[in-house]
Amino acid sequence: MNRVLFLLVALLNATSIFSQSEVLKPPIQFESFKEVLQYADENAIAIKGAVINEQIANSGQKEAHAYLYPSINASAGYNNNLTIQPTLVPSEFFNPSAPSGSFEELTFGQQHLTSAGVQVQWDILNFKKIFASQTAKVVANQSEVNTQRSKFNTYNLLASTYYSIVLSQESIKIYEENIRISDSIYANTKEKFQKGILSDAELNAAEIKQLQNRRKLNLAEGNLSRFNNQLRSQLNTKEQIAITDTPQSFILENANLQTSHPEIAWQETEVRKYASLLKQKKSLLLPSLSFGHQYNVNWASDRFMDFSNSNYLPQQAIGAKLSIPLFNGFSSRQKIKQSKLELSYQQFKLENTKLLMQNEDEQLLLDLKNSLQDLSDNTEILKLMKENDIHSKNKYESGIISLNERLDMYEDLLTAQDNYLQSLASFTLTQYKVYIRQIDFNSNNLK
């Protein structure tokens, strides 16, 4: 019994130590958005899936190209003729004086037949396979572009979540300061209330403001936890995440957008793919030429695997085949017509995509300019509001102004804080959209 208790205690201690080691495991530290993108390249499910599809497309390209090479097949076989079927042969073949219409039963062949052979087949000229190989090459290139597009979309999604976390952390600092201010107002109000200077309504007003600030802080902390979990899901990790970045720590070097947009690159590959598919359809009207060579050997014997007294029966053939499509009910021409229309539509989409991306880039730079100006104005307003709030605090504590005037001035400060946080969020997210747009995905180089 004691031994069982000892083992149980040891097991509980081991479980406790393991649990503590899991809890104490340090979180993944991110000091900048660039580090998040580097981690996402290795772990984000959307990017990993695109990379795997790229590898599949490359394999498909090699497969399509392999059909252009000749095929060589070797074969071997064995037959045991348990019963050799007799054949009726006219008796006149062996005896010219034999009666007409008489036959003799003869058997031809031997019981054991072993064979081996080699066959070579090569489509010397097959335009359908040639253009299919070219299409597979375009598809492989398109899969590379799709990886770039997947990264671009994933990066923008990460930017929204990452800077929601950074801004939540920034707002928590402000809300914690607000709680200290509202606690100070409530303490001062309660002191005056106890002295009979202020009424119940004024004490309630100070407490309401205190509770409102606590609610804001709790909401910000809840949002931070939610955004952290969202980022963990996007990065495909179960580890805890710690971000030490601040909105003010990153400044764009410039606002130039000179790199090609992944969406345009994708649509360009779509046009090339459908142009190659059109060539494939046109190849249905072209002739094909193939070459073949076959060499077979048969060994016929009376005993199994006895080649000492067997009959050696070789066979060899070589040939070429030219196939010219003359008429197939005009179905091939209809396929060509359909393919031309599909190509025309993809070309139209390419021009439309270029226009949309150009307008999107122009709007992005305009948003950056406007949000920067808005942030600058709100930062200055917040600075002035803080100074006014300090004056208001001193006047209230000195009894120069009423509680209502103090709370009104403090409410103006809270409004300025909200406007500052909104403009900071807008500018920060726009700034990082520009940063992502500046990445050269062809070189896979994060600045």
Give the β-pairing of 28-30 and 241-243.
Answer: parallel
pLDDT of residue 219: 94
The answer on pLDDT for 439 being more than 60 is yes
pLDDT of residue 177: 92
Q: How far apart are CA 157 and CA 201, in angstroms?
A: 47
User: Please, which residues have CB within 8 angstroms of residue 13's CB and are 6 or more apart in sequence?
Assistant: none
Q: How far apart are CA 291 and CA 307, in angstroms?
A: 33
pLDDT of residue 216: 92
**11-25, 91-105, 118-132, 133-147 — most confident range:** 133-147
Instruction: State the DSSP string of 236-248.
Output: T--S-EEE---GG
pTM for this predicted structure: 0.79
Q: How far apart are CA 435 and CA 318, in angstroms?
A: 65
Give the residue-averaged pLDDT of 402-426: 90
The string over 339-373, giving b where at least 16 C-beta atoms fall within 10 Å of a residue's C-beta and e elsewhere, is beebbeebeeebeebeeebeeeeeebbebbeebbe
* Contact present, 173 and 252 (Cβ < 8 Å): no
Q: How far apart are CA 180 and CA 410, in angstroms?
A: 13
Give the residue-averaged pLDDT of 289-316: 84
Q: How far apart are CA 157 and CA 432, in angstroms?
A: 11
CATH class of 27-68+126-287+331-437: mainly alpha
**14-23, 64-73, 347-356, 392-401 — most confident range:** 347-356
Structure tokens at 17: 């130590």
Give the residue-averaged pLDDT of 247-258: 84
Q: How far apart are CA 188 and CA 203, in angstroms?
A: 10
Give the residue-averaged pLDDT of 176-188: 90
